[in-house]
């Protein structure tokens, strides 16, 4: 996705630590110091889901190969990995 203008996204309340593209290229996942994983629409820059549960910073995010799930890894005293279903990406294939 090429953005030819400045883009300000609103969804995290603290610094973003990590980001990953979905396999279809239509979504991004980000994790931050606010302990949230946010799913973004890559075309509009809008947050479409906030996934909560971590006790500390989220230091890693990754989509499953089919884009139907996203994982977030917590750092510090959290040390947990959460896996969430991402229903709005179901059925999306690379190149669509």
Average pLDDT score over residue span 9-22: 83
Neighbours of 36 (CB within 10 A): 22
Average pLDDT score over residue span 57-86: 89
Could you tell me if 71 and 61 are in contact, meaning their C-beta atoms sit under 8 angstroms apart? yes
Instruction: Write down the pTM of the prediction.
Output: 0.77
Could you tell me if 63 and 84 are in contact, meaning their C-beta atoms sit under 8 angstroms apart? no
Tokens of 65: 């190969």
Q: For residues 89 and 32, give the distance between their C-alpha atoms in angstroms, rounded to a whole number.
A: 21
The greatest distance separating any two alpha carbons of the chain, rounded to the nearest whole angstrom, comes to 40
Task: Choose from 4-8, 19-23, 88-92 the range with maximum mean pLDDT.
Answer: 19-23
């Amino acid at each position: 996705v090429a953005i030819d203008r400045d883009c300000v996204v609103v969804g995290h309340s603290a610094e973003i630590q990590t980001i990953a593209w979905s396999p279809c290229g239509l979504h991004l996942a980000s994790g931050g110091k606010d302990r949230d994983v946010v799913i973004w629409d890559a075309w509009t820059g809008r947050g479409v889901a906030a996934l909560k549960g971590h006790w500390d910073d989220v230091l890693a995010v990754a989509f499953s190969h089919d884009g139907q799930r996203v994982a977030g890894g917590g750092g510090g005293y959290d040390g947990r990995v959460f896996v969430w279903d991402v229903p709005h990406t179901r059925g999306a294939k690379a190149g669509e």
